[in-house]
Amino acid sequence: MIDIKFLRENPDVVKENIKKKFQDHKLVLVDEVIELDSKNREAKLKGDELRSKRNSLSSEIGNLMKQGKKDEAEAIKLEVKKINDELVENEKLEAEYEAGVVERMMKIPNIIHDSVPIGKDDSQNVEIKKYGEPIVPDYEIPFHGEILEKLGGIDLDSARRVAGNGFYYLMGDVARLHSAVLTYARDFMINKGFTYCIPPYMIRADVVTGVMSFEEMDAMMYKIEGEDLYLIGTSEHSMIGKFKGQLLNKENMPYTMTSYSPCFRKEKGAHGLEERGIYRIHQFEKQEMIVVCEPEDSWNWYDKMWSYTVELFESMGVPVRTLECCSGDLADLKAKSCDVEAWSPRQKKYFEVGSCSNLTDAQARRLGIRIKGEKGNYYAHTLNNTVVAPPRMLIAILENNYQEDGSVIIPEVLRPYMGGIDKITIK
């Protein structure tokens, strides 16, 4: 959510930002906010005037009673009652206008960074840089689901019987590799100075609406029936929510945390070969990183965070590239975002394995996360980034380490977490 003072003073800038995100249907929200905000401030001013008048009259009643002028005092009491009735109605208007402003402000996208390329969707994202040499071997690499089955590492049929499509059983050495990636990623981030955390896997509605837009919430989140709880789609949700309503001490900034969690997503409209297997699923596990920091430090942290993911993948020998997300591909709360994509030698192209985002103060405004400064309190900046999501990471490892005999070489940095074995063979 952007600063309403900024919107009042720069409505044309806010409208232009909406246009850059190709959300012209939201342009009307700016004018509606300005109108409702004006009415709300008028109502608040009227309320202040009524309360001042009431206080003055109440004081006069006391003086009149002391002077024995009971009839005059009673007349003024009637006037005070009328003011109280008027105040009740005025406060209803204030609440109505305030709710209208907040409802619309929650739908207006965050101001994007000047460096964000303008484009309608992810097809117009811009490649930044490639890391590592993408190699295509001279033998055929099967679909990752077939590789997993040959290694005895997956059971989709049983998962369908138990939970339906979009779930899986990981088995044996493949399941161990999955855990090894997470454990290695955890230690990697701890060594970068991040505090390890296992957060709640469910969050309340006021946290959900604090960390994402209503559209994202509807598309992603599973709600617990009969309770004010949602399953998290990523641990970033509960990690940022940890700071909800907090006034943070300046000397403790920044907060840098890395978290493990299972994640749950609806993943509507996932079809086709590449969407099957373990690429797009309803349940997966993930290592995440978040930063809550001073506003002036957030862009420095942004560059650090995505570079950590690149470094992690490079350490496992997986070629990656970074993409600058264009304006139309940014979720509403994001000011800037870049994707990390891993090389797929089978498809001969890159595929997304992580995303790094700076949300500036958008989440902090929604959640009330402020820093106590010497000259007053101000909103923090929040950032999040995928360290690694093993289902997709597994695809990258399987394909980039697949051997002609059907075995898969385990990246050297993962072998200590695999009991020292160096490859997984066909079962």
Q: How confident is the model at residue 208 (pLDDT cuts 50, 70, 90)?
A: very high
Q: Report pLDDT digits (tens) over 351-400.
A: 999 999 999 999 999 999 999 988 899 999 999 999 999 889 999 999 99
Report CA dihedral (125, 119, 215, 381) to the nearest 10 degrees.
70
Query: Is residue 25 over pLDDT 70?
Result: yes
Pairwise CA distance, residues 416 & 427, whole Å: 22
Provide the pLDDT for residue 268: 61
Buried b (16+ CB within 10 A) or exposed e, 294-319: beeebbebbebbbebbbebbeebbbb
In eight-state DSSP terms, residue 113 is: P
Q: Does the pLDDT value for residue 246 go beyond 50?
A: yes
What's the pLDDT score for residue 271? 46
Convert the pLDDT of each residue in 48-88 to its tens digit. Answer: 999 888 888 877 776 777 777 777 877 888 888 889 999 99
Model confidence over 252-291: pLDDT tens digits? 999 999 999 999 999 765 444 444 678 888 999 999 999 9
CB 293 within 8 A of CB 255: yes
The one-letter amino acid code at 171 reads M
Residues 6 or more apart in contact with residue 250 via CB below 8 angstroms: 294, 371, 372, 373, 374
Cα–Cα nearest to 390, from 74, 178, 218: 178
10 Å Cβ neighbour count for 156? Answer: 18
Burial pattern 56-84, b for ≥16 Cβ within 10 A else e, equals: eeeeebeebeeeeeeeebeebeeebeebe
Residue 358: how many CB atoms within 10 A of its CB? 26
Cα 113 to Cα 243: distance, rounded to the nearest angstrom:
24
Residue type for 53, please? K
- pLDDT tens per residue, range 125-182: 999 999 999 999 999 999 999 999 999 999 999 999 999 988 999 999 999 999 999 9
Cis peptide upstream of residue 254 (ω within 30 degrees of 0): yes
Residue 167, helix vs strand vs coil: coil
Domains defined along the chain, listed by start? 4-105 (1.10.287.40), 122-424 (3.30.930.10)
Helices (H), 316-383: 362-367
- Average pLDDT score over the chain: 93
Lowest mean pLDDT among 94-98, 163-167, 169-173, 190-194: 163-167
